[in-house]
């Protein structure tokens, strides 16, 4: 069973609680039954999205719903938004390619430096004198 989160005005919640307590069911069950009743009623005039859009027009502009804006936008606005998003994706891909090239150059430089360190280590090992056996016994006199 799916769980849905919704923002409901406080006065409506109180009405739901009263109705739910009268019927002896939980608030969640009451809302689920209300949604199911709406879906199977087939009454297009009681469409909550229509009422929501009408009520939304009276709300303060700072509380605009982005989904409502997207639903009411014209087709040309949608195409402009898609073009803007495509350009943004292209710009980000180009930026990513540049960063990948920098990473490859740094990786190549690190590999070269590791090779140089290996060569220097080999030259140093060859230049060092061979280790002496039991060097910690230097104080003993050989007889």
Residue-by-residue pLDDT tens, the chain, 143 positions: 778 888 888 898 898 888 888 888 888 888 888 888 877 776 655 555 555 555 555 555 555 555 556 555 566 677 778 888 899 999 999 999 999 999 999 999 999 999 999 999 888 887 777 766 666 666 666 65
Q: Quick check: is 95 in a domain?
A: yes
Tokens at residue 40, please? 């199977």
Residue 128 is encoded by which pair of tokens?
A: 């060092």
User: Can you give the pLDDT at residue 81?
Assistant: 81
* Radius of gyration in angstroms for the set of CA atoms belonging to the chain, rounded to a whole number: 37
Residue 103 included in any domain = yes
Quote the number of domains for the chain. Answer: 1
- How much is the pLDDT for 32? 84
Whether residue 104 is contained in a domain is answered as yes
Residue 133 lies in a domain: no
Three-class HEC string of 39-69? HHHCCHHHCHHHHHHHHHHCCCHHHCCHHHH
pLDDT at 101: 95
Q: What is the pLDDT of residue 3?
A: 80
pLDDT at res. 102: 95
**Is residue 4 a part of any domain in this protein?**
no
Q: Is residue 83 part of a domain?
A: yes
Domain annotation covers residue 134: no
The answer to the question of residue 115 being in a domain is yes
CB 30, CB 20: distance < 8 Å: yes
Domain residues for the domain of 100 are: 74-128
């Amino acid at each position: 069973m799916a769980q849905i989160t919704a923002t409901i005005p406080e006065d409506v919640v109180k009405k739901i609680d009263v109705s739910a307590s009268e019927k002896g069911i939980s608030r969640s069950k009451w809302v689920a039954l209300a949604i199911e009743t709406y879906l199977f009623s087939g009454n297009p005039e009681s469409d909550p999205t229509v009422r929501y859009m009408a009520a939304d027009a009276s709300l303060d502009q700072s509380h605009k719903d982005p989904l409502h804006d997207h639903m009411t936008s014209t087709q040309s606005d949608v195409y402009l938004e898609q073009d803007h998003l495509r350009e943004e994706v292209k710009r980000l891909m180009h930026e990513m390619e540049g960063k990948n090239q920098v990473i490859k150059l740094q990786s190549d430089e690190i590999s070269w430096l590791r090779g140089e360190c290996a060569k220097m280590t080999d030259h140093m090992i060859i230049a060092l004198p061979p280790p002496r056996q039991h060097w910690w016994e230097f104080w003993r006199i050989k007889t």
